[in-house]
């Protein structure tokens, strides 16, 4: 470019920037009119994108202390930091700790269902922020983040893995390695929805494996395993056993929501 052309280019750039700055409020108004912000729980109109309406917000129950230090089961009273739930004592899990952001009901349940079955992948970053808060200590201590995998045929039908969407968002938020290829679902399983605890366990026993070529991602490392919903724990327990067999030093589990028994 000739030297005498540079002032003209600079002037055009400044004019373009000034024009965009002047038009930005108008463009924002047009965008808000065409694509109004909606509640991420029920889709009614709200003032800001990525927020919940008052009714959905009031129905959320975030899982806070006191809870079981192993299973993260909320307690009605504070029994001390080392008091274990009956389930953790009777049936110790293969993972070290489980944490979940919210109880699986109301808006939280609708968000989980929308992400999983209605292609609402736009919800994953918002859900991941709640998980980040609930799993702070797990995220600080982990070496690698990975999701519970789908079988390839289910992935092909759904086109995405909801747990991977959450895990990817968390890894980005925390600047942690993300290794979705480190765990594979090697056989097709039934949907866990509607199955009892024993059926769920049988359904996923032996369903996971760490491929030899990807053991390098987890060997000797503290793994944080991500799933969308924790119900009986059958899936994450089976996945944890596969990760430990593959050489993981330890496994923690973080989910978006948690189903509590009646």
What is the reported pLDDT for 21?
61
Cα within 13 Å of Cα(75), Cβ side: 18
What is the reported pLDDT for 95?
99
pTM for this model (two decimals):
0.83
The 222-230 sheet, strands edge to edge: 98-103, 250-258, 222-230, 144-147
What is the reported pLDDT for 207?
83
Distance CA 56, CA 40 (A): 9
Q: Which residues contact 185 (CB under 8 A, 6 or more apart)?
A: 149, 150, 151, 152, 207, 208
What is the reported pLDDT for 156?
79
Residue 92: other Cβ atoms inside 10 A: 11
* CA trace torsion 169, 173, 174, 180 (10° rounding): 20
Which residues are paired to 222 by β-bridges? 250
Q: pLDDT digits over 112-133, tens only? A: 999 999 999 999 999 999 999 9
The segments of the chain whose pLDDT lies below 50 read 31
Sequence-ordered strand ranges (E) for 39-97: none
Rg (CA), the chain: 23
Distance CA 204, CA 192 (A): 9
Q: pLDDT digits over 184-237, tens only? A: 998 876 666 666 666 766 777 778 999 999 999 999 999 999 999 999 999 999
Distance CA 195, CA 203 (A): 9
What is the reported pLDDT for 154?
77
What is the reported pLDDT for 72?
97
Phi-psi region of 11 (alpha: psi -120 to 50; beta: other; left: phi over 0): alpha
Q: Which two tokens stand for residue 245?
A: 């067999």
What is the reported pLDDT for 241?
96
């Amino acid at each position: 470019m000739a030297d005498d052309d540079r002032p003209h280019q600079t002037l055009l750039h400044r004019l373009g920037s000034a024009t965009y700055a002047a038009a930005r409020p108008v463009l924002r108004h047009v965008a808000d009119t065409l694509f109004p912000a909606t509640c991420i729980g029920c889709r009614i109109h709200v003032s800001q994108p990525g927020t919940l309406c008052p009714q959905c917000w009031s129905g959320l129950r975030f899982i806070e202390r006191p809870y079981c230090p192993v299973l993260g089961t909320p307690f009605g009273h504070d029994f001390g930091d080392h008091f274990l739930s009956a389930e953790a004592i009777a049936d110790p899990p293969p993972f070290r700790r489980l944490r979940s952001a919210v109880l699986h009901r109301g808006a939280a349940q609708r968000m989980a269902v929308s992400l999983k079955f209605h292609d609402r992948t736009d919800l994953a970053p918002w859900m991941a922020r709640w998980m980040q808060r609930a799993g702070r200590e797990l995220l600080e201590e982990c070496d690698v983040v990975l999701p519970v995998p789908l079988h390839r045929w289910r992935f092909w039908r759904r086109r995405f893995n909801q747990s991977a969407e959450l895990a990817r968002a968390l890894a980005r938020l925390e600047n942690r390695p993300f290794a979705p290829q480190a765990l594979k679902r090697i056989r097709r399983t039934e949907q866990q929805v509607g199955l009892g605890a024993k059926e769920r366990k049988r359904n996923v026993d032996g369903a996971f494996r760490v491929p030899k070529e990807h053991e390098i991602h987890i060997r000797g490392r503290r793994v944080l395993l991500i799933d969308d919903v924790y119900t009986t724990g059958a899936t994450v327990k089976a996945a944890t056993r596969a990760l430990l067999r593959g050489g993981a030093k330890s496994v923690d589990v973080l989910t978006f929501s948690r189903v509590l028994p009646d």
